[in-house]
Amino acid sequence: MEIYKDLSSPASKQFEELLNSQLSKNKIEEGKIIEGKVTKITSKYIFLFIPGLKSEPVIDVNEVKLMGMNEEIKEGTTISVLLEKIEDKNGDVVVSAQKAQKIKGWNKLVKCYENNELINGKITQKTKGGVIVEHVETGSLMFCPGSQISDKPIKNIDHLIGIEQKFALIKLDMIRGNSVVSRRQVVSSNKTVWYVYSVTCAPALVFMLLLPESALALYLIL
């Protein structure tokens, strides 16, 4: 392979124009999330192929382990990464799978928050003032204050840890990237629905119990 030592040479300029054209064609820009195909895995690094880039981006294996994806990543699989730099001072491409995961997870949380949708989460651990909740779909970590765990005081929450359940998003801090959830709102809402059902249906149930069998059968048919 020929190496262009003179960056001002026509051949070098032609190569640069071709590369920039390819980057534009594939919509590759710094700060965007792109897909990379795993070409090689070593004990320390994961090598990716991304069309349009002049060198293979590399991800640290420990980064993938922290994301809980080390068992999923194999040669030939595709992984989302954030393109931080097309070329750093050493001429290397800089990408981050962890940051891409966080951004994608945040975007989904924002959508759920705007649409007032409940999310699925798991309480992973206790922390000062509350618990840490992991968003099942994206792996994003959220904070649930102690006062928002239930609608009544709970001394021991061990039975709630690790169980998938519904949470309501009550606060999103886009600047700090923090999110706060509430299990209490979900529990209270379910109780309200059951109360309304009980109030509206109870009289009818009592009436049905007081009816003779023949009259009850006719009532049900009607």
The rounded distance, in Å, linking the Cα atoms of 116 and 170 is 9
35 and 48 Cβ atoms separated by less than 8 Å: no
* Model confidence pLDDT, tens digit, residues 100-120: 888 888 888 999 999 999 999
Which phi and psi angles does 188 have, rounded to 5°? -65, -40
Confidence of residue 81 (pLDDT cuts 50, 70, 90): very high
Confidence of residue 203 (pLDDT cuts 50, 70, 90): low
- Going from the N-terminus, what domains does the chain have, and what CATH number goes with each? 10-97 (2.40.50.140), 118-222 (2.40.50.140)
pLDDT greater than 90 at residue 44: yes
Confidence of residue 29 (pLDDT cuts 50, 70, 90): confident
Order of strands, edge to edge, in the sheet holding 45-49? 58-60, 45-49, 33-41, 78-85, 94-96
Confidence of residue 46 (pLDDT cuts 50, 70, 90): very high
* Model confidence pLDDT, tens digit, residues 88-97: 888 899 999 9
Calculate the CA 66 to chain-centre distance.
14
Mean of per-residue pLDDT scores for the chain: 78
Report pTM: 0.55
Residue type, 154: I
